[in-house]
């Protein structure tokens, strides 16, 4: 599946939902808690409920190698992975001092 900016995805075995901020040029599979993420309207057999590290609401997660960046719109257990690499939480930019 090609991940395009604006694409909404939900976990099959997690309550996690994300929206793609920066996509990939080629095909990529975004997974949450070991299962491929699906479009919100897609129906597929549910997998086993997961118990992994929490994906936090409002945080951005990135993969430096592929350039993929997603924003969490609903928290849930993870981890988020793409091509067997775990996405890392993006750090906030430091604001300039107001002295």
Query: In this predicted model, what pLDDT tens digit does every residue of 74-94 receive, in sequence order?
Result: 999 989 999 889 999 999 888
Q: What is the DSSP letter of 95?
A: P
Task: Give pLDDT, residue 45.
Answer: 55
* Cα–Cα distance measured from residue 50 to residue 53, given in angstroms and rounded to the nearest whole number: 10
Q: Which residues have a Cβ under 8 Å from the Cβ of 78 and sit 6 or more positions away?
A: 14, 16, 32, 33, 50, 52, 53, 54, 55
3-state secondary structure of 76: strand
* Cα–Cα distance measured from residue 83 to residue 44, given in angstroms and rounded to the nearest whole number: 21
Query: Of residues 35 and 72, which shows the higher confidence score?
Result: 72
Task: Give pLDDT, residue 88.
Answer: 95
Sorting pLDDT into bands at 50, 70 and 90, what band is 68? Answer: very high
Query: Of residues 44 and 27, which shows the higher confidence score?
Result: 27
Task: Give pLDDT, residue 30.
Answer: 93
Sorting pLDDT into bands at 50, 70 and 90, what band is 44? Answer: low
Q: What is the DSSP letter of 15?
A: S
pTM summary value: 0.85
* Cα–Cα distance measured from residue 1 to residue 91, given in angstroms and rounded to the nearest whole number: 27
Q: What share of the chain has pLDDT > 70, as a percent?
A: 90
């Amino acid at each position: 599946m090609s991940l395009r900016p604006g694409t909404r995805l939900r976990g099959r075995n997690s309550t996690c939902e994300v929206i793609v901020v920066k996509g990939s040029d080629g095909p990529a599979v975004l997974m949450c808690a070991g299962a491929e993420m699906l479009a919100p309207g897609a129906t597929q057999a549910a997998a086993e409920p997961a118990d992994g590290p929490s994906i936090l609401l409002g945080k951005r997660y990135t993969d430096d190698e592929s350039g993929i960046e997603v924003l969490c719109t609903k928290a849930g257990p993870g981890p988020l992975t793409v091509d067997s690499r775990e996405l890392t939480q993006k750090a906030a930019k430091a604001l300039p001092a107001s002295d």
